[in-house]
Amino acid sequence: MRKQQSIDILTRQREATKTLANINASNPAFTKWHRDTEVAIERIFGAESRNLSDFRGVNYSLMFFAPSTPDSSFIEACQRGLDKAAAILSSMIDEIQDYEFEDNHSENEPDRLNLIERLCLRFHAAARQLQQRHDDRDTLTIEDEYDVQDLLHAILRLHFDDVRAEEWTPSYTGGSSRVDFLLKAEKIVIEVKKTRSSMKPKNLGEQLIIDRARYEMHPDCRTLVCFVYDPEGRIGNPVGIERDLENHTGQLKVRVIIAPKA
């Protein structure tokens, strides 16, 4: 991506924060702006850049709240996040202007993390299509996490040569655990979960926090992708949970994908 084009895109996204006043982080306009900006930063600086990590570290919601918390408090929290995001975007623009800028992200080489995200977001469409077999032949029905793993494993093999299933993680708090998939060359671990009636959003968050701590110690993991398959729409605020679970201060890059989204 050319230098001036990158500056123009980041400037546009920075100026867009001014149009998002008086809304909270659950507003669709905010969701679109946030995703557009994240994609732009990743395309300009790369998936492993500090720039993308800094942007993803911005919080737009309240850390603690009660049923009596007024809407204005959520709006104020979102505005504080937008102000910080605008400052970070301004710093990125200055970085491009002041220093020699090269696009290290080759357009001929697909971004592996983006590819995995697209596969997870389209997973439900593939699972649904499998139910439409000729002459009603037997097929894979997604009933639990093992079924999700089997289908995702097949999909990953279409795009990655080395997909290692069920690798042991190092010992953590006196025990050890297994990861679902390790892409060793890419240094990416993919953890798979499927929602069920007994799994509440709080339980999911607690599980992923423990997983994140485990994979911090994995020698072949620089990025943890947590794919949560939610075909029944049990998670009411998937975008909010994704953002909260990705917001941490550790060295491990975390991407949480809940799909499908209602």
pLDDT band at 63 (very low <50, low <70, confident <90, very high): confident
170 secondary structure, DSSP code: P
pLDDT tens readout for residues 152-200: 999 999 999 999 987 666 655 445 556 689 998 899 999 999 998 888 7
How confident is the model at residue 79, as a pLDDT? 94
> Mean of the pLDDT values across residues 11-34?
93
Amino acid found at 3: K
> Minimum mean pLDDT among 15-29, 71-85, 92-106: which range?
92-106
Q: Which two tokens stand for residue 135?
A: 């002459």
Give the H/E segment covering residue 135.
none
- Report the percent of the chain where pLDDT is more than 70: 89
Amino acid found at 111: D
pLDDT band at 19 (very low <50, low <70, confident <90, very high): very high
**Confidence check: pLDDT of 108 > 50:** no
Amino acid found at 102: E
Beta sheet of 223-229, edge-to-edge order:
164-165, 181-183, 188-194, 223-229, 253-259
Q: Which two tokens stand for residue 51?
A: 């720039």
Q: Are strands 223-229 and 164-165 parallel, antiparallel or unpaired?
A: unpaired
**Confidence check: pLDDT of 109 > 50:** no
**Confidence check: pLDDT of 101 > 80:** no
How confident is the model at residue 167, as a pLDDT? 65
**What are the φ and ψ backbone dihedral angles of 6, each rounded to 5 degrees?**
-65, -45
**Confidence check: pLDDT of 1 > 90:** no
pLDDT band at 132 (very low <50, low <70, confident <90, very high): confident
pLDDT band at 107 (very low <50, low <70, confident <90, very high): very low
> Minimum mean pLDDT among 22-31, 76-85, 108-117, 156-165: which range?
108-117
How confident is the model at residue 154, as a pLDDT? 94
